[in-house]
Amino acid sequence: MTPETDAAPAVSDREQKILNIIEKTRAKRPRFKADQVTMAHGAGGKATQTMIEGLFVPAFAPDEEGDAHGLAALADAGRVTVDGTGLAVTTDSFVVKPLRFPGGSIGELAVNGTANDLAVAGAKPEAITLAMILEEGLRADDLRAEVEAIAGAAAAAGVKIVAGDTKVVERGHCDGMYITTTGVGRIDPRASLSPAALRPGDKVLVSGPIGEHGTAIMLSRDEFALDAEIESDTQPLWPAADALLGAAGEGLRCMRDATRGGVATVLNELARASSVAIVAREGDVPVRPDVMGAAEILGIDPMYIANEGRLVAFVAPDVADAALAALRAAPGCEGAAEIGEVKTDPPGMVLVETAFGGKRVMDLLAGDPLPRIC
């Protein structure tokens, strides 16, 4: 519907020169130049990316450029090989506010979050360690409830808690309870996953309706006069990962759990890591109507809202249907859907075909729609 007319200008020399300058600037490794840490550095968007790639990676992994399994690959879990056995190791901390919310609590998140980072790395979660920072004055009943939640979630996910640590800080120096977990898992022999493995033609799957965790947290804070019965989607993802590995085998390129920054952030990270374009079809993305309604009122795109029990998988086209069927048969993944496709150009970019029939670029968020969701 857009016919070529002579009104469409060609790219002039001067414009091309400026485009080249921009391209060069964008291709450079980001530098961490902030004077202080702001909430934006914790939001999972551009500021976070600048801090990680501009400060942490150069300090911890200066020689790892191109290593698909090191820190610089920025996968959900790192990889260690011990006597020929591939292990995945990951760590995560949890500062969610409030501690309990519809559908879950900080303790449950701490177990599932870490177990899921292992699962999407293609590793069956085996054991986790647990560090708790407690605020003076925290009610013992609240602590008891979280200990029970952690034990329950660990049993459900099939992981053992094998070590731990506690610290107590003065009142006002933390907010009730912060939890850090580290997890170890055995890398499944069927897994050959890498964020750089996406190829044009690959299909993008999500394991269920998106945006429920972030929306549940938002509404539970009572900052908005909105009522809806939306529960967090927190759940262990190993059964889903296992099903995908079984159905797609080597055709499974990569998996990510779509936590902070949501599905949009996952797609952006992988488009960059694989130097491909990703096109998502908005109309095919599963979102519950009440989540859609809340997001509409708050002016937030569900694609950016955090999930705690949803993964995004990238699969070769020839195994996509089998992978989707297997995913839908996994517990809690009945609502899985194919939401898009990997393309060639423009590399590193994510596009959305809107349900209205238009197209737009879906970038990393510059800032923070909502702090402390996990």
Interface ranges with other proteins (CB under 8 A): 1-8, 11, 14-15, 18-19, 21-23, 25, 35-40, 223-224, 277, 279, 289, 292-293, 296, 301, 343-346, 349, 351-361, 363, 366-367
Burial class (CB in 10 A: 0-12, 13-18, 19+), 53: middle
- Whichever of 45 and 113 has its CB closer to other proteins, that residue is 45
Q: How many Cα atoms are found within 13 Å in the side-chain-facing hemisphere of 188? A: 23
Q: Which is nearer to other proteins, 141 or 345 (CB)?
A: 345
Of 164 and 367, CB closest to other proteins? 367
Nearer to other proteins, 212 or 257 (CB): 212
Residue type, 122: G
* Contact criterion met (CB below 8 Å) for 344 and 79: no
Closer residue to other proteins in complex, CB, 158/367: 367
For CA atoms 245, 196, 305, 362, give the dihedral sign: negative
CB of 11 to other proteins, least distance (A): 6
Shortest spacing between CB 24 and other proteins, in angstroms: 10
* Cβ atoms of residues 185 and 87 within 8 Å: yes
* Cβ 298 to other proteins shortest distance, Å: 9
Q: How far apart, in whole angstroms, are the C-alpha atoms of residue 292 and residue 210?
A: 10
Closest CB to other proteins among 21 and 155?
21
Tell me how far, at minimum, the Cβ of 21 lies from other proteins, in Å.
6
User: Whole-number minimum distance, CB 259 to other proteins, in Å?
Assistant: 21
Asked whether the beta carbons of 40 and 64 are under 8 A apart, the reply is no
Supply the minimum distance, in Å, between the C-beta of residue 226 and other proteins: 11
At 7, list the tokens: 């009104």
Q: Give start and end residues of each alpha helix (H) in the chain.
A: 13-27, 46-51, 57-60, 106-120, 140-157, 212-220, 238-248, 262-274, 289-298, 320-329
Using the minimum distance from each CB to other proteins, give the nearer residue, 128 or 362: 362
Considering the complex, what minimum distance in angstroms separates the CB of residue 258 from other proteins? Answer: 20
CB 278 within 8 A of CB 350: yes
The tokens for 143 are 């602590």
